[in-house]
Structure 1
Amino acid sequence: MKYTEEIIVEWNKKFAEASPGEIVSWALEQAENAVVTTNFRPYEVNILHAVTKVNRGTKVIWCDTGYNTPNTYKHAEELIATLGLNIHLYVPKQTSSHRDAVMGIPGIEDPNHAIFTEQVKLEPFGRAMQEHKPDVWFTNLRKGQTALRNTLDIFSVSKAGVLKVSPFYHWEDTQLDAYLREHNLPNEHKYFDPTKVLENRECGLHT
Structure 2
Amino acid sequence: MNAQREKLRMMLTSAIFAAIIGILAQVTIPLPLVPITGQTLAVGLAATILGSKYGALSALLYMLLGAVGVPVFSGMSGGMGIIVGPTGGFIVSFIISAFVIGWYIEATKATVTHAFIANVIGMFINLFMGTAWLKVAASLSWPEAFAAGFLPFLIGGVIKALLSAWLGIEIRKRLASARLLPYSSSKRTA
TM-score, structure 1 normalization: 0.31
Structure showing greater radius of gyration is: 1
Is the helix fraction higher in 1 or 2? Answer: 2
Is the strand fraction higher in 1 or 2? Answer: 1
TM-score, structure 2 normalization: 0.33
